[in-house]
C-alpha cells in the first residue's frame, strides 16, 4: 500500500492514488502529495535505472514497466568555453528523456488495470508512451498534428500504436484528445501528474552523481514543462528529505518563436507565435503554465528565449564538438552565452534532451 494522495490544484479535493482519474471533478489539474524517501546505502547497491529510487516514486514495485532506463551520464565539459556538467538525457530506449515519465505513468496505468489509453503529442512524448504501452501490452492511441515530424510518426506506428493525424494546430489536437479521453484514460504528459513523478528522477540522478549534492543551476528547454517541473519536484523531494539544503536555480529556455512563459514573465503584450525549428517545445498554451512560473520563481531562476538563428548556430557548435542531438535540444545552448554567469553559478548542469538520429532520419 502506497501512502500519498492525488490533490486538486484548485479546490480542496483529495483522491486515492489508485483512483482512475487524471483531473479533478472540478476540472482542474491534479498534483501528487507523497513522502519520497532515499535509503542512500540501498540505492547504491541497485542497478542503474530510474527505479533505483523506487521509495521516491509513488507506484508499487509489483507493476514496474521498465527497460532499465536512466542513470544517463553526467559529463564535465565546455561549450563556447563555458564550464558545464552535460546531462546526456537523450540516451534512452526511445531516444529522449520522456521515457522517464512514460515508465512511471505506464507502470501506474498497468497497476490500475487500464488497457486502453489515449495521448496527444507531436513527438517524443508520443513515442515514449507508445513504446512503454507496447511493453505493457496496453492499447494505445496517439493523436498528433498532421504536420508533425514524419520520423516520430513512424516511430509511434512501429511500436504498434494507432496514430490519428489531425489537420490544425496542437490546441485542436489537445481538444480532440480531451474529448476521446472522456471514454478512456488520458495518458497525457502535460495533464497526468504521474508523468512528472517520472521526469523528476533526473534530479535524483544529478544529485547522486554529484555525491548527493545539488548544482548551483540547471539549464533546461521549456515547452509543456515536463522537464522544468520534474527538476523542481525532484530537487524539492531531496530538500524535504534533508539531503540537499538549497534548490538549484532553474534556468529555462524557450524558442523565441513560441515563448508563452517568457512572454508572461517579461510582460510582453500580444505576442506572435510562429513555427520554430525547436518543434518539441513549440507549445502555445502549456496547461501547467502557472505552476511553471511558480517553480522557476521559487528557485530564483529565470527564462530566456532563443531565436531560430541562435538555435541553428548552437546546433552546429554541438555537432562540431561531437554531440548529436535534435534541434529542440540545442535551444539551451542557443541562449548559453547570454546567461548571466552569476545566475549560472560555479556548477551548472545543462540537459541535452533528444537524440539527433530522431531528426536526421526525417531528412533522408
Ligand X SMILES: *Cc1c(COP(=O)(O)O)cnc(C)c1O
Question: Which spans of this chain sit near ligand X (rule: CB under 6 A)?
Answer: 96, 98, 123-124, 221-228, 280-281, 326, 328-329, 353-354
Residues with Cβ within 8 Å of 53's Cβ and at least 6 positions away in sequence, in order, are: 36, 38, 43, 201, 204
Smallest separation, CB 294 to ligand X (Å): 15
User: What one-character-per-residue DSSP string does 124-191 give?
Assistant: HHHHHHHHHHHHHT-EEEEEEETTS-HHHHHHHHHTT-EEEEESS-HHHHHHHHHHHHTTSEE--TTT
Smallest separation, CB 303 to ligand X (Å): 12
**Which residues here bind Zn ion, judged by CB under 5 A?**
8, 10-11, 13, 24, 26, 28
Which residue, 28 or 165, has its beta carbon nearer to Zn ion?
Answer: 28
Which residue, 122 or 291, has its beta carbon nearer to Zn ion?
Answer: 291
Rounded CA separation 168/276 (Å): 16
Which residue, 21 or 343, has its beta carbon nearer to Zn ion?
Answer: 21
In eight-state DSSP terms, residue 224 is: S
Sheet containing strand 74-79, edge to edge, reads 74-79, 82-88, 348-352, 217-221, 249-255, 302-306
Smallest separation, CB 289 to Zn ion (Å): 18
Which residue, 58 or 221, has its beta carbon nearer to ligand X?
Answer: 221
Hey, how many other C-beta atoms are within 10 angstroms of the C-beta on 285? 12
Question: Which helix or strand (DSSP H or E) is residue 236 part of?
Answer: helix 226-240
Residue 8 binds: one of ligand X, Zn ion, none (C-beta under 5 to 8 A by kind): Zn ion
Which residue, 107 or 291, has its beta carbon nearer to ligand X?
Answer: 291
Which residue, 103 or 328, has its beta carbon nearer to ligand X?
Answer: 328
Residue 66 binds: one of ligand X, Zn ion, none (C-beta under 5 to 8 A by kind): none
Which residue, 17 or 329, has its beta carbon nearer to ligand X?
Answer: 329
Residues with Cβ within 8 Å of 121's Cβ and at least 6 positions away in sequence, in order, are: 129, 142, 144, 189
Residue 217 binds: one of ligand X, Zn ion, none (C-beta under 5 to 8 A by kind): none
Residue 26 binds: one of Zn ion, ligand X, none (C-beta under 5 to 8 A by kind): Zn ion
Smallest separation, CB 358 to ligand X (Å): 8
Cα-only R_g, the chain: 19
**171, 276, 292, 129: which is closest to 225 by C-alpha?**
292
- The residue with its CB nearest to ligand X is 354
Residue 281 binds: one of Zn ion, ligand X, none (C-beta under 5 to 8 A by kind): ligand X
Residue 145 binds: one of ligand X, Zn ion, none (C-beta under 5 to 8 A by kind): none
Residue 69 binds: one of Zn ion, ligand X, none (C-beta under 5 to 8 A by kind): none
Residue 327 binds: one of ligand X, Zn ion, none (C-beta under 5 to 8 A by kind): none
Smallest separation, CB 228 to ligand X (Å): 6
**357, 349, 313, 347: which is closest to 331 by C-alpha?**
313
Question: Which helix or strand (DSSP H or E) is residue 107 part of?
Answer: helix 99-111
Smallest separation, CB 6 to Zn ion (Å): 10
Smallest separation, CB 135 to ligand X (Å): 19
User: 538549497: which residue's cell?
Assistant: 246
Smallest separation, CB 221 to ligand X (Å): 4
- List beta partners, residue 76: 85
Which residue, 38 or 192, has its beta carbon nearer to ligand X?
Answer: 192
Hey, how many other C-beta atoms are within 10 angstroms of the C-beta on 322? 7
Amino acid at each position: 500500500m502506497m501512502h500519498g494522495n492525488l490533490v486538486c490544484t484548485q479546490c480542496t479535493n483529495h483522491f486515492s492514488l489508485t483512483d482512475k482519474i487524471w483531473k479533478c471533478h472540478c476540472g482542474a489539474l491534479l498534483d501528487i502529495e507523497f513522502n519520497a524517501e532515499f535509503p542512500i546505502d540501498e540505492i547504491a547497491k541497485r542497478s542503474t535505472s530510474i527505479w533505483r529510487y523506487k521509495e521516491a516514486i509513488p507506484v508499487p514495485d509489483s507493476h514496474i514497466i521498465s527497460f532499465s532506463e536512466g542513470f544517463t551520464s553526467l559529463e564535465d565539459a565546455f561549450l563556447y568555453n563555458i564550464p558545464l556538467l552535460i546531462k546526456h538525457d537523450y540516451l534512452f530506449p526511445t531516444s529522449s528523456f520522456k521515457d522517464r515519465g512514460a515508465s512511471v505513468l505506464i507502470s501506474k496505468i498497468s497497476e490500475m488495470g487500464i488497457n486502453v489509453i489515449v495521448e496527444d503529442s507531436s513527438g517524443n512524448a508520443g513515442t515514449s508512451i507508445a513504446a512503454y504501452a507496447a511493453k505493457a501490452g496496453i492499447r494505445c492511441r496517439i493523436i498528433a498534428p498532421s504536420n508533425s515530424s514524419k520520423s516520430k510518426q513512424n516511430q509511434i506506428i512501429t511500436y504498434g500504436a494507432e496514430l490519428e493525424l489531425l489537420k490544425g494546430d496542437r490546441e485542436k489536437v489537445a481538444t480532440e484528445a480531451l474529448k476521446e479521453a472522456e471514454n478512456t484514460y488520458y495518458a497525457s504528459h502535460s495533464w497526468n501528474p504521474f508523468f512528472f513523478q517520472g521526469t523528476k528522477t533526473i534530479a535524483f540522478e544529478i544529485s547522486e552523481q554529484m555525491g548527493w549534492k545539488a548544482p548551483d543551476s540547471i539549464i533546461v528547454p521549456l515547452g509543456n514543462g515536463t522537464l522544468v517541473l520534474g527538476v523542481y519536484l525532484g530537487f524539492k523531494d531531496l530538500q524535504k528529505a534533508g539531503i540537499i539544503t538549497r534548490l538549484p536555480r532553474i534556468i529555462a529556455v524557450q524558442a523565441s518563436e513560441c515563448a508563452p512563459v517568457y512572454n508572461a514573465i517579461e510582460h510582453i503584450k500580444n505576442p506572435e507565435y510562429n513555427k520554430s525549428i525547436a518543434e518539441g517545445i513549440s507549445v502555445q498554451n502549456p496547461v501547467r503554465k502557472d505552476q511553471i512560473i511558480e517553480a522557476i520563481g521559487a528557485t530564483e531562476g529565470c527564462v530566456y528565449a532563443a531565436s531560430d538563428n541562435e538555435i541553428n548556430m548552437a546546433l552546429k557548435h554541438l555537432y562540431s564538438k561531437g554531440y548529436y542531438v535534435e534541434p529542440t535540444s540545442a535551444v539551451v545552448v542557443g541562449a548559453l552565452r547570454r546567461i548571466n554567469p552569476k545566475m549560472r553559478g560555479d556548477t551548472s548542469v545543462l540537459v541535452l534532451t533528444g537524440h539527433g538520429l530522431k531528426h536526421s532520419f526525417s531528412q533522408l
